[in-house]
Structure 1
Amino acid sequence: MSDSNQQPRRRIMPARRLTLLGSAAVIGSAIALSGPLGYGRLIDQAWAAAPSQGEQGPTGFADLVAKVRPAVISVRVSVDEGDETDMLGPNGEPSMQGTPFEKFFRQYGFADGPQGKMRRHQMITGVGSGFFISADGYAVTNNHVVDHAKSVEVTTDDGKSYTAKVIGTDPKTDVALIKVEGKSDFTYVNLDSKTPRVGDWVVAVGNPYGLGGTVTAGIVSAEGRELSSSPYDNYIQIDAPINKGNSGGPTFDTNGNVIGVNTAIYSPTGGSVGIGFDIPAPTVKMIVAQLKDKGVVTRGWLGVQVQPVTAGIAEGLGMKNAAGALVDEAKPDTPAAKAGIEPGDVVTAVNGEAIKDSRALAGRISAMAPGSSAKLDILRKGESRTIAVTLATMPNQQEKQASSDDHGSGSARGVPHLGLSVAPAEDVAGAGNKGVVVTTVDPDGPAAEHGVQSGDVILDVGGRTVGTVAELRDALSEARSAGKRDVLMRVKSAANTHFVAVPIG
């Protein structure tokens, strides 16, 4: 993808961008470290003390590379863009649309990502990477590599080319499964079922810039990375140099098992700066099994809107630790609503497995089969209980709640401790008949600092339903009398319902 001169917004560092690893038109140069504290010397010192290759790690990667490289392929796709479209960037790079990274680019000011329109009926060629996972020709690559492809051709390490077909794709995780027919003796590699440790050695193999099979080495830099790209973010961060064209290529551990699939880099120019992201192999393994079986991915669905439990929220709920997923809303006629899950419940475990935050809950539920039963451990008003729920199939597209921006004038009264004025919802046109509507917000007050905006509807405070200004003040007074420093409010905004912890001390 081409770069944009527009500066990213918010707290992202200047000139840094998240880039999908499609094809590109330029070749970067490598920079080697040197000096007494150089990277190479540190490696030499560490390995010099190692008792043997088998016990502590290899002194080189040549044997490993010779073993796995025949399974890695170059993936070349042709796209007939037809009418004017945004499917590919001006250099033939896959666009972000339809990938987990579209939201990221929009969040930081790139409305459509760094791509442009294409002329009609022009065949565009894109290049990525992939790898065989079976002898009969099944191979893994990225969804953004083969998305909208009219034809797919793969080239193996020995230079032979084959036609492949797309078996299925999963845009939410950016995984795709392709198949080469007519041969049953391809060299293949295994997807590991374990998550690597931070600091483990890794080797990335791929087809950067369309040059052909290339190998780089590094370590696992971090795990569980979130890129705000989807509810299922759980990327492995590595520092092995990977570049455009590495999309879909594998990253191996020192035993030759695939620990992740290269999918994106963080970079000022589109070239590697040592920050790359891999889809974890266990995730790929699960997705590929469904694509092979059904051609599509189905996910379990609970039907709740959740948010992480922050320190302020934990204080408001009387929890000792800030952990779990706080339920903002259980959608009507969903498995959650039918099972009796309520706003304010905190999901702490699923089938006995602890839930760290809302993202962990989404990942755990989505990994379960629709129709299966799950036992949720929840905390409700300080009491623990277990609720059994039967999961449904996740809808393809969640419906968004509509809300009017016309809140009328109403009869508003101030709540100085929070820095806002409110009016009963039933007195404000278009606000419904539940809660109190925020009519004005002091920009320097505690409510504004925690994201409360004019037009929001406060539904309950400290677990108490509020419908009048007096009820709101009574709930605040009760929280203060109980010695709480923060009060937990359930707020309905334009598109959703969520909890906000606001200081009242």
Structure 2
Amino acid sequence: MTHKKQWMPLIIAILLGTCIGLGTLLIQEKNKLAETSYASSVKKAAPSVVNIYTQTESPKRILEHNNDPRTINLGSGVIMSKKGYILTNYHVVQNASHIVIGLHDDRQAEARLIGSDPATDLAVLKIDLPNLTPIELGNSQTIQVGDKILAIGNPFGIGQTVTAGIISAKARNSIGLHSHENFLQTDAAINPGNSGGALVNLKGQLIGISSAIYSSTGGSQGIGFATPVNDALKIMTQLIKYGKVTRSYLGMDTRKINQQLAKSLDLPVDHGLLVSNVIQQSPADKAGIEVGDIIVKIDNIPSTNPFETRQRIANMKPGSVISLLGVRGQQSYQANIKLEKQPIMQHSIN
């Protein structure tokens, strides 16, 4: 009996070591599989990506007395909840008289438009079907340039297609496609019909909504853009709740000041935002902000990035009052400005 007790610790250590070794081998094999195949990621995410078919009336074809004045457009969407909410691009469903959703399991259903936001090119649809598979959500804040991703959509209407690539850049906000931009850039092939589809990480989690491509040919040239999922969720919540998105605005265009710009223009400070345009009758105009002013702080927070400042203002409620610290000539000034509702498709920076 004593002899057996002496061997027990050794036997336990051997068994424990064997288990750890097998576990390590399994993890290594799983990692190797992930490097050679995206199958598990696709299997997880694909059932949540839908094809969208829209029918629009064409006034031109009506005037030409065409017997069938309807046009069929194609796009993609992502199932966001078991209740049937689908996130897609606004341009996919713009002016649509009928919207039909094609699911991964070959079911079809007519969808209704819940709300749209042209400023970010997002829209929310709803279908009434049981047994839907909502996509698992990722976190676009933690995405890094160089991360591998997959794009799932319906390019050219040929059916659900998966392409692979990486995150090429983040926070692209000067593309000029929409008035509110904060794109993830990817080299995964995105083509017409992919719009509104899913950009997912290798866990099969949604990190973005495919929105646009930069192309001289109309096809993929390795520069695609997607709206980050964190941004899209905020828009979706407002569209479901209110049917629209309400933003505030100041009504001025600004440019970031650096040492080189300050030196070339002989500015009194080498930081802040230089006002380059003020929209008439905007909150900024009513508060007396002028072209050439330098915005140093808003609500005691340094203003150093036009995009971030615009986003912060947009997220405030219309009617809110902000405190702005500016510089005009050699004099500093402080102004209290009451924010107003942003006009539709307003292109001002702040």
TM-score category (smaller protein) = 0.7 to 0.9
> What CA deviation, in whole Å up to 9, does each residue of 1:183-242 have, x standing for no partner?
364433326352521111111111112122211111101122221223423221101112
2: CA distance, partners of 1:236 / 1:57:
27
User: 1:286: how far off?
Assistant: 1.9
Percent identical pairs in the alignment equals 34
**Alpha-carbon distance between aligned partners in 2 of 1:52 and 1:349, rounded to the nearest angstrom:** 51
User: Any residues of structure 2 matched to 1:250-261 within 5 Å, and which?
Assistant: 250-261=198-209
Counterpart code for 1:58: A
- Does 1:317 pair with 2:243? no
Is 1:203 the counterpart of 2:150? The answer is yes
2:47 match: secondary structure: helix
Selected match of 2:218 from 260, 266, 270: 270
Residue 169 of structure 2 corresponds to 222
Instruction: Find 1:175's aligned residue among 95, 115, 122.
Output: 122
Separation in structure 1 between the aligned mates of residue 32 and residue 248 of structure 2, nearest angstrom: 41
Give how far 1:269 is off: 2.5
Q: Is the 8 A contact 2:120 2:179 kept in 1?
A: no
TM-superposed deviation, 1:126:
1.0
Correspondence for 1:244 among 188, 192, 199: 192
Matches of 2:105 and 2:255 in 1, distance apart? 50
- Contact 2:170 2:184 (C-alpha < 8 Å) held by counterparts: yes
Deviates more, 1:248-257 or 1:378-387: 378-387
C-alpha root-mean-square deviation of aligned residues, in Å? 3.2
Tell me which residue corresponds to 2:139: 192
Using the size of structure 2 for normalisation, the TM-score is 0.79
Whole-Å separation in 1 of the counterparts to 2:228 and 2:66? 37
Letter in 1 for 2:45: V
Cα deviation digits, residues 434-454 of structure 1 (max 9, x gap): xxxxxxxxxxxxxxxxxxxxx
Instruction: Tell me the distance in 1 between the aligned counterparts of 2:308 and 2:110.
Output: 39
List runs of 5+ in structure 2 lacking aligned partners.
1-26
* Cα pair distance change 1:249/1:345, threshold 3 Å: same
Alpha carbons of structure 1 residues 232 and 309: separation in structure 2 relative to 1, 3 Å: farther
Residue in structure 1 matched with residue 95 of structure 2 by the alignment? 148
Amino acid at match of 1:138: Y
- Report if the CA contact (8 A) 2:137-2:207 is conserved: no
The answer to whether the 8 A contact 2:259-2:270 is kept is no
SS in 2 for 1:364: helix
Contact 2:50 2:103 in 1 (8 A): yes
CA drift of 1:356 comes to 3.6
| Paired residue secondary structure (2:59) | coil
What are the residue-to-residue correspondences of 1:11-30 with 2, within 5 Å? none
Asked if the contact 1:347–1:376 (Cα under 8 Å) also holds between the matched residues in 2, the reply is: yes
Task: Pick closer, same or farther for the CA change 1:272–1:376 going to 2, 3 Å.
Answer: same
User: What letter is aligned with 1:232?
Assistant: H
- The Cα of 1:182 is off from its aligned counterpart by 4.5
Q: CA shift at 1:77, angstroms?
A: 0.6
What is the one-letter code of the residue matched to 2:39?
A: A
CA change 1:362–1:303 in 2 (3 A) is: same
By percentage of residues, which structure has more helix? Answer: 2
Instruction: Kindly indicate whether residue 233 of structure 2 is the aligned counterpart of residue 233 of structure 1.
Output: no
Say if 2:333 is the partner of 1:362: no
Partner in structure 1 of residue 340 of structure 2: 392
The answer for the alignment partner of 2:320 in structure 1 is 372
CA contact (8 A) 1:80 1:122 kept: yes
Q: Hey, what's the Cα distance between the residues in 1 that align with 2:125 and 2:163? A: 25
Task: Kindly indicate whether the alpha-carbon contact (under 8 Å) linking 1:142 and 1:247 is maintained by their aligned counterparts in 2.
Answer: yes
Corresponding letter in the other structure for 1:260: G
Pair 320,310 (structure 1): closer, same or farther in 2 beyond 3 Å: closer
Partner-residue secondary structure (3-state), 1:134: coil
CA displacement at 1:176 relative to structure 2: 1.0
Which runs of structure 2 are paired with 1:23-102 in the superposition (5 Å)? 52=28, 58-59=34-35, 60-83=37-60
CA distance in 2, matches of 1:239, 1:284: 21
Q: Quick one: distance in 1 between partners of 2:159 and 2:150?
A: 16
Name the SS of the counterpart of 2:54 in structure 1: strand
Q: Matched residues in 2 for 1:193 and 1:343: separation? A: 36
